[in-house]
Structure 1
Amino acid sequence: MIRVLVADDEAMVRAGVRSILTTEPDIEVVAEAADGREAVELAARHQPDVALLDIRMPQLDGLAAAAELARTQPEVAVVVLTTFDEDEFVARALGDGARGFLLKASDPRELIIGVRAVADGAAYLSPRIAHRVITAVDTGALSRRSTARERVATLTPRERDVLALVGSGLSNQDIARRLHVAEGTVKAHVSTILQRLGASNRVQAAITAYEAGLVEG
C-alpha cells in the first residue's frame, strides 16, 4: 500500500486529489495539510511514502516544505503538484530534493502514475515539464558535456550502467531486474552515484546521464 500525504491550502483541491487517488486499491491518503508547516509535521507523524505539495501555501510554501522534508525525512518522496510551471519553480523544486513535478491541469492518470513511480524509487515529471527540462539541458549542452563526462568517469562500470538506467527513468526494482541483482544492491549503487556526481536527487543524476551521453535523447 502506498501511503500519501496531500498538502494544499484549498480544501476542494485536497478533496479532488483524494478522490482520484483513492480509486486505486494500492493507494491510501493518510493525511491532509492546509499549509507547508503542517505538511512537515504530519509527515513526521504519519510516515507517508509520498508527499504531494502545492507551491503556494501559507506558513511554509511547498518548495520550502520540500527542502525541509528532504533534509529531515529523506525517505518521503516529494512530488510538487501545482498550477505554476515557471522554470524557476521547477528548478527550485528539483534542486531542493523533489522527485516529481506535476501540473494540476494534467490528466488525472498522470497523478496516479507519478505517485506510483516516485513511491517505487523513480522520478516523474509531467510530460510538458519533462520536455522543458530536456530543452534546457540541450541549451548549452556542449559547454556542460565535458563536465558531465568527467563526473561520470569517476564511476565504476557497474555504476555507469545503473546511472544510464536511472537516466532512462527506471525504478530501483526495474534496474535490479534488468541487471539481475538485488534491489538493495541497486539502492547502494544509486546512493554512491548521487554522492560522486554531487547530485541531490535522481532527476539531477538523470540529467547528468543525459549530458554525458549515457542516455539517448
Structure 2
Amino acid sequence: MLPRIVIVDDHPLMCMAVRLVLERDGYEVVAECHTGADCVQTVRSLEPDLVILDLNIPKLDGFSVIERLRSSAIKTHILILTSSDSSHYAFRCLQAGASGFVCKDDKLEELSRAVKAVLAGYSYFHKRVTDLLIENAIASTKKPPSAFNSELSLLTDRELTVFGLLVKGMSNQEIGQTLMLSHKTVSTYKIRLMNKLNAPNMVELAKIAQRHDIATA
C-alpha cells in the first residue's frame, strides 16, 4: 500500500509542484487543503501517513494545526514546507511536534529526501536546529540561554506567527482574516509584541526580524 499524503498550502501552483514530486516518488496524494481548518478536518477523516504543511495558511496557522493534530490520537507525521526560512521557526516546529522542516527556497529534491526520511521514522531538520536543541537542554540550568533562547524565545507560537505577518507588511485586518482573529485581538498581540521585544514602533520590530533572519516585506 502506497504511503498516503495530504498537502496543505494556499497556493495552487505550490500544491501542484509538490504533488508532482510526490507522485513521481511513488506516493499517493489523497487530498489538498488550502486552509488550516480544512487540514485538521481532512486529517481527522482520512488519517494519512504524512501531512506536508505550510505555516502561513489562512483559517488556523501552521502552529495551531500542529497543536490540534498532536493533541489528537492521530499518528500522522507532519513535515513543514514553508517560506518562513528561519531557524527560529524550524526550532519551534520541532518543539511543537513536527517531524521535519524544509524551506520552499530549497530544491524540490530536498523535499523528496525529507519525505523519505520522515516516512521512515526519522526527523528531518537542519543540523543547526537539532544541535541547538541539545545545547539548550544541556545548558538550561548551567549558563545563560543560547542565542536561540534570546528575545524571540519570549514569544508564544501565536505571537511569533503574528510577528512574522506584521513585519511582512500585513495590516491588522489582513492578519485577522488570515488567523481568524478579530481586529482588536490582533492589536492586542501587536502591543504585547512591542512590550516583550522592547520595540516602540514597527521600525524596531523590523530590525529585530532582520536580526533573527525573519523575512520582512
For structure 2, the 5+ residue unaligned runs are 143-217
Residue 85 (structure 1) shift: 2.2
Aligned to 2:139: 143
Aligned to 1:77: 77
Q: Distance in 2 between matches of 1:10 and 1:96?
A: 24
Residue 97 (structure 1) shift: 0.8
Alignment of 1:24-63 (within 5 A): 24-25=25-26, 27-63=27-63
For structure 1, the 5+ residue unaligned runs are 147-217
Over 3 Å counting, the alpha-carbon distance change for 1:5 and 1:80 in structure 2 is same
Contact 1:77–1:98 (CA under 8 A) maintained in structure 2 = yes
Residue 74 (structure 1) shift: 3.9
Residue 133 (structure 1) shift: 3.9
Aligned to 1:20: 21
Q: Distance in 2 between matches of 1:77 and 1:50?
A: 5
| 1:48-99 Cα shifts (integer Å, max 9, x gaps) | 1000100101100111101111111441000111111223322221111101
Q: Distance in 2 between matches of 1:137 and 1:105?
A: 26
Residue 29 (structure 1) shift: 0.7
| 1:121-177 Cα shifts (integer Å, max 9, x gaps) | 11112xxx3234425645x6863598xxxxxxxxxxxxxxxxxxxxxxxxxxxxxxx
Residue 102 (structure 1) shift: 0.8
AA of the residue aligned to 1:143: A
- Please identify runs of 4+ aligned residues in structure 1 that moved more than 3 A: 135-138
Alignment of 1:124-163 (within 5 A): 124-125=124-125, 129-135=126-132, 137-138=134-135, 143-144=139-140
Over 3 Å counting, the alpha-carbon distance change for 1:132 and 1:72 in structure 2 is closer
Size of the alignment, in residue pairs?
A: 142
Q: Distance in 2 between matches of 1:142 and 1:66?
A: 26
Aligned residue for 1:131, secondary structure, equals helix
Aligned residue for 1:51, secondary structure, equals strand
Contact 2:47–2:74 (CA under 8 A) maintained in structure 1 = no
- Percent sequence identity over matched residues? 28
Contact 1:44–1:73 (CA under 8 A) maintained in structure 2 = no
Structure 1 residue 2 and structure 2 residue 3: aligned?
Answer: yes
Residue 107 (structure 1) shift: 2.1
Aligned to 1:160: none
Aligned to 1:98: 98
Over 3 Å counting, the alpha-carbon distance change for 1:45 and 1:142 in structure 2 is closer
AA of the residue aligned to 2:43: A
Aligned residue for 1:98, secondary structure, equals coil
Contact 2:90–2:129 (CA under 8 A) maintained in structure 1 = no
AA of the residue aligned to 2:111: L
Aligned to 1:206: none
Residue 40 (structure 1) shift: 0.8
Contact 1:49–1:76 (CA under 8 A) maintained in structure 2 = yes
Contact 2:54–2:81 (CA under 8 A) maintained in structure 1 = yes
Contact 2:6–2:50 (CA under 8 A) maintained in structure 1 = yes
Aligned to 1:200: none
Aligned to 1:121: 121
AA of the residue aligned to 1:103: C
The root-mean-square deviation of aligned C-alpha atoms, in Å, is 2.3
TM-score normalised according to structure 2 size = 0.59
